[in-house]
Structure 1
Amino acid sequence: MVAEDGQLLGPPAAWMLSPPVGIGLERAGFALRFALALPDRWREIVILMVAAHEDSAFERFAHRQGARAAGVTDAEIGQIQAGTFTPAGAVEAVLVQATTSLLRRAGLNAKEWSAAESALGHRAIFEVVTLVGWYRLMALQLRVFRLEPPTADAIHSET
């Protein structure tokens, strides 16, 4: 996203402070958005859970539309933000529990690991752990560099 005045919005605005690192982060971000085996709905639920946990207004703003496109309803988005989300099914419940544990304790206990391994498999667990770490990094960068979501009339999307 780019502001009307041409300035980058969100994490890429900070990445420009170190272009070689920023380019690497852009590549990693692309993989996390477009190369995961996780269903899109799950990816967006995890991202919104991190945004809620980290109180990241920009990430909530940036992922609301993607979550809707992935089948997360507005009511569910509100529930995720409020910490009252009810997962759709047993496997999604394991995903949400694993994400909650990663956010609260930065790990999974033996019971949580076993449940996640059975329901999700190693690749999905790896992807969830990576998403949580990545979006926590993004929230930190956004917070430190005071990068807030733009007003609706101040942006246009570069597609």
Structure 2
Amino acid sequence: MKPIEVKRIAHIVLYVTDPEASAAWYGKVLGMEISARVKEGPYKGGIFLTFGVSDHDIALFPAPEGATQGKEFEHVGLQLAGETMADLQRAYAHLLANEVRIAEILDHGVSTGIYFYDPDGHMLEVLLQRTAHDDGQAIRQLRENGGQADPTALDPLHG
């Protein structure tokens, strides 16, 4: 038994220079909706965003003055709901159509991910999980391939 059983990442909170502008970007690029705005207190001006199921998946808080942007973590991985390479290709076309700055596309064996930046320089990844998690197969495969991360090409699929 593990001391703490974590089911999944519940949410992330990012410091951003302009929560309203960033919320608009996350809405346009990832289809997120605003679930709440912080009206009072130390996080006044913060915005909670949802993909439509959880109360919030990403929260955007005003960055303290002088904060270094986009360096708070390496990246956040967001698993696509779709399960085909065409779903990932459509996501890629959408990112390109919205002039999102792409960092790289990597094949991890168990998944393929598109790494990109938000307006404050935070790196995000949308990924297609190719190996199921349920039976431990993905853990075994990642262990066997030593955490493989090979650059790969991906053709955008429009429509």
Tell me the TM-score range normalised by the shorter chain: under 0.3
TM-score, with normalisation over the residues of structure 2?
A: 0.23
Higher share in strand: 2
TM-score, with normalisation over the residues of structure 1?
A: 0.23
